[in-house]
Structure 1
Amino acid sequence: MVEPPQGPSRPQYDDEISLVDLATTFLKRRRVFYVVFIMVSLAGVAYALLAPEKHEYVSLMKVAEKANGEYLEEPSTIIAELDSLWVPDLEAAHRSEHNRNLPFKITASNPEDTGLVRIVSEASPSDAELVEKSHRQLIERVGAEQNEALARLRKSLETQIESMDSTIDMLEGGQNTGEAIASAVENQLSLESDLESLAPFEALVVSRQSGKGAGPSRALIVVLAIMLGLMAGVFAAFLAEFIGLVKDRTSEI
């Protein structure tokens, strides 16, 4: 009797791993999984409970303005000076005096379409006094530079106004000088308007503590620790099985 032809058989490989093999391996090494999972999770919970609480401390300053809403110095320029010069100087001075780095970072930014410079630090409440001192030093440095530049501009405008006064007095004694006098008076009024429009540098807020804690919440840290514990536990279980197989093979040699 002729047997019907059979289709191509599925090749078998000795190194194939099925889901059943994976489940069997995991159950075999479940104690390793439990140990690693519990250790990582407990470490995460301990960190969440013992990690110092941090808050955001914000300082805000308004740069000096000239006429027509123009800034005496662009906020982006001040931020560049803070980041590249004044903050590093402050950190170096603290390191030299206390033989350690500042326990927090200082960043500066400019809220869009404003003449404000925002200084921010994330620190624990125990460092609040140091944060305020550091922010105040930076604000005073910016303010001193702004006020000095504003004084120079004010002096220049006053000198030009006085010069216009002299020019007008001189023209009033001449003949056919009406147009020249009118132009001089117009320029003088414009200069006086520019002088009155000058707005000084102002520190609006110094190291104000945010009501909400900065950084990830404790609950989020615990959740991430549990997820990490699950992944580390599974990896450790299969790694333990691999090491066990290697030992068995090497003992047979």
Structure 2
Amino acid sequence: MAENNEKLRPPYDDEISLVDLASTFLKRRRFFYMVFFVTLLAGVIYAVLMPQKYEYVSLVKLAERGAGSAIEKPGVVIATLENRWLPEYRAAYDDEHKERMPIKVRFQNPENTNFVRIVAEASEAEVGALREAHSSLIAELEKSQALAVSNLRQSLKAQIDSLSSSIDMLRGTQDAGAAIAAAVEKRLSLESTLKSVQTMETLAIARQGSEPAGPARSLIVLLSGMLGLIAGVFCAFFAEFASLVRAQLSDI
């Protein structure tokens, strides 16, 4: 008996069907069109007026003591750039121009190489500041690398001179053949290392990328259209909800 009563019970009055949703949307479609086109137009205007930014890359090959062996490890060099030279340059820029430096600089070390990449994005109006920053950082790096090369060469020459003196002393003693041979071999190795020392090489300074950085304008327009669709549907139903609330309040 109870089951029959359940079956005969009428449906709830507040149930909403797809037909009700469709009719509500069509009733308030003007809100949808208004929100959709305003959002889409805002996206188009932003995409057109947004300044195009490009990526600029400077590439440096660190000084080497031999084939593939950097005098200073790239990780150490990048740490110095990030924690010393870049903050110093940024502070000097802020003091000189009375405003914050408009670009963000980052540093990279391609895997298994002795290269350091200095990377930054800038619009056409910011290119001058970007080139100055890259040039200043590379100048600091050149000084540091030149000092490292000079110290290495002096150390190698001192070791070679010391070995040469030792060889001259050993030649006057008996049973020193093995020691002399080892010293000569070591000296030849140091001389080879000295000849193979290479200074830092700047391969590119603020080279502009071929494609704009950041989201494409077409993507911005597409996303604004999708946002307009969602916001338009929401506003249409919210307008109907607000209308029903006002009508009910007026009856109280």
Aligned to 2:105: 106
Shift of 1:182: 0.9
Aligned to 1:234: 233
Aligned to 1:214: 213
Q: Secondary structure at the match of 2:170?
A: helix
CA distance in 2, matches of 1:160, 1:180: 16
Provide Cα deviations, 1:71-91, integer angstroms capped at 9, x if missing partner. 212212222332333323322
Aligned to 1:67: 66
Provide Cα deviations, 1:2-28, integer angstroms capped at 9, x if missing partner. xxx798357622332221111111111
Count of matched residue pairs? 249
Q: Secondary structure at the match of 1:8?
A: helix
CA distance in 2, matches of 1:93, 1:10: 80
Distance 1:242 1:88, change over 3 A: farther
Q: Aligned partner of 2:15: which letter? A: E
Aligned to 2:119: 120
The two structures have a TM-score, normalised by structure 2, of 0.92
Shift of 1:135: 0.5
Provide Cα deviations, 1:94-125, integer angstroms capped at 9, x if missing partner. 22221222222111111122111111111112
Shift of 1:36: 0.8
- Runs of 4+ aligned residues of structure 1 deviating over 6 Å after TM superposition are none
Paired-residue identity, %: 51
Provide Cα deviations, 1:111-160, integer angstroms capped at 9, x if missing partner. 12211111111111222222111011111112211221221111111100
Q: Secondary structure at the match of 2:210?
A: strand
Aligned to 1:97: 96
CA distance in 2, matches of 1:230, 1:12: 33
Q: Aligned partner of 2:62: which letter? A: V
Task: Map 1:106-185; keep pairs closer than 5 Å.
Answer: 106-185=105-184
The two structures have a TM-score, normalised by structure 1, of 0.91
Instruction: Give unmatched runs, 5+ long, in structure 1.
Output: none
Distance 1:10 1:178, change over 3 A: farther
Shift of 1:207: 0.3
CA distance in 2, matches of 1:208, 1:226: 35
Shift of 1:223: 1.4
Q: Aligned partner of 2:112: which letter? A: D
Shift of 1:220: 1.7
Aligned-pair Cα RMSD in Å? 1.8
Instruction: Give unmatched runs, 5+ long, in structure 2.
Output: none
